[in-house]
Amino acid sequence: MKIWVDGRLVEEGEARVHVLSPTLNYGYGVFEGIRAYWAGDNLYVFRLREHVERLLRSARIIGMALPYAERELEAAVVEVLRANNFREDVYIRPIAYIAKPQIGLDVRGIEASIAIAAVPFGKYLKPGGVKVAVVSWRRAHSSMLPVMAKATGIYLNSIMALLEAKARGADEAVLLNAEGKVVEGSGENIFVVRRGLLTTPPVEDGILEGITRETVITLAGDLGLPVLEKSIAREELYTADEAFFVGTAAEVTPIIEVDGRPLQIGPITTKLADYYRQVVLGRVEKYRGWLTPVY
């Protein structure tokens, strides 16, 4: 497998990071998750520009200097996909990190390195639906960490949540924020259908601004399903008619159980999942502009 590192393609074994990197030791880095779909005639990267833009925003939030512009990074993603000659669905991981080794927390003035790897990738969560547990770990609060950045260190929060959910026999976690409101999964945004109303937590509740979340809100409008962004109580999740996760890895995945309480896979979840699949494969002309062809 070839990996793009600071402007050149290298073999997997050559992509190395010093053990004293501040990214490895202190979590000072930002990353993205991007999907590319094989549609039979070409490989299409879904919403590449938006993902690269978020990577740059995340870096700006944490004060990390990146040496590449948006268009250069977009071209680098396509380059690594072509170099590996993928003819299947792929997950792409750009990451900005500090390669220079150092002891100490002062990272001022250090220019970041960027690596881009890609691997064949199928379903991240069970496509037939997942059982979730509302965990005791709370979502990191924006007064403590920059939760709007897709930063590496923040994901310890997600790992701890998922480990707890798995220990309780669930497939995935649901985190609450400091105020006790439902915010997201360990790596997904969440939507809830209750009394015919489709809702999702707002950005101000401490969620990551998901690109798939924004996509689904747009697609729901096409289907005549307006989305209300509002705080969601735990009890509303328990009494939902439907609920589902969305994310680059998760796509649109139904939630079939919350803390032992069963949920149905309803018509709204099904419609959105089907429509989303058609869009990412380039079968909806209106959204072909969201796709970047590789070959």
Q: Any idea which residues carry the catalytic annotation?
A: 150
Contact of 213 with 200, CB cutoff 8 Å: yes
Tokens of 280: 């990412």
Expressed in angstroms, the distance from the first to the final Cα of the chain is 18
Identify which of 237, 250, 236, 243 has the alpha carbon closest to the alpha carbon of residue 208: 250
Antiparallel, parallel or unpaired: β 181-185 and 172-176: antiparallel
**Cα torsion angle, 290, 35, 125, 277, sign:** positive
Tokens of 238: 């328990």
Contact of 187 with 139, CB cutoff 8 Å: no
